[in-house]
Structure formats: C-alpha cells, structure tokens
Structure 1
C-alpha cells in the first residue's frame, strides 16, 4: 500500500491536471471558434460582393435589352 503522502500527491496531480487540461481545452476551442467565425464573416462579405456584382450585371443586361426593344419600336427618322 502507498504511503499517505504519496496518495495525497497523486490526488493533487489529478486535480491540477484536470483543472489545467480544462483551461487549455477551453482556450483551444475558443481560438478555433473565433478563427472560424472570422473566416465565415470574410466568406460572407465576398459572397455578398459577388451577388451585388452579379445583380448589377444582370440589371445592365436588362437595361440594354430594353433599349434595343425601344429602338426597334421607334421608327428611324
């Protein structure tokens, strides 16, 4: 059987390891979460910019088609 001081030291090491391991785990997960959120925000900004550019291009195509339609309806003078 282990001496009482040795058993006490084992309990201290287990508790300290649990506390430090939990703190380290929390820190790592926090860093992963913040970097993931930053990447997702950047992806969202790029997607929104892409969709705005696509909408502008589509609007320009529609405007050009309307002008062509109007040009065909108006007689040449």
Structure 2
C-alpha cells in the first residue's frame, strides 16, 4: 500500500515537471500568444463601445435638459 502511495506521488511529480517544462518551451513568457492578443483586442473594443454608449447617453441627457428649460 505504501508503494502505491509513493508511486502515485512520484508519478504526479514527474508528470508535473514534464508539463511545466513543455509549457516553458512552447510558450515563452515574454511573448504573448495570438489568443491572448485577440482577447486583449476584444476587451479594448468592448471598452470603447461602452464609452461611446456612455457618451451618447450623456449627450441625450443634456439635450433633454436643454429642451425642458
């Protein structure tokens, strides 16, 4: 039973080391992936759209206030 537990722990450690080694070689930390770049561009687009909607809402509020007076 102890052999099974030790073997499982050793197997987990070895697989963890292999996985992290692979990730370091495949995805250097100083170069963002294409997927990350697309996601960041998408977030910027959404932020700009939200800002435009907010600006339009402010203009409508001002126009309504001017027409009421």
**TM class by smaller structure:** 0.5 to 0.7
Moved over 4 A (4+): none
Indicate which of 32, 47, 54 corresponds to 1:44. 47
Indicate which of 39, 55, 60 corresponds to 1:57. 60
Q: Per chain length, whose mean CA-contact separation is higher, i.e. which structure has more relative contact order (CA < 8 Å, sep 6+)? A: 2
2:34 matches 1:31: yes
Per the normalisation by structure 2, the TM-score is 0.55
Per the normalisation by structure 1, the TM-score is 0.50
Query: Which sections of structure 2, spanning at least 5 residues, go unmatched?
Result: 1-17
Deviation at 1:32? 2.0
Query: Which sections of structure 1, spanning at least 5 residues, go unmatched?
Result: 1-14, 67-77
Which stretch has the larger CA shift, 55-64 or 29-38? 29-38
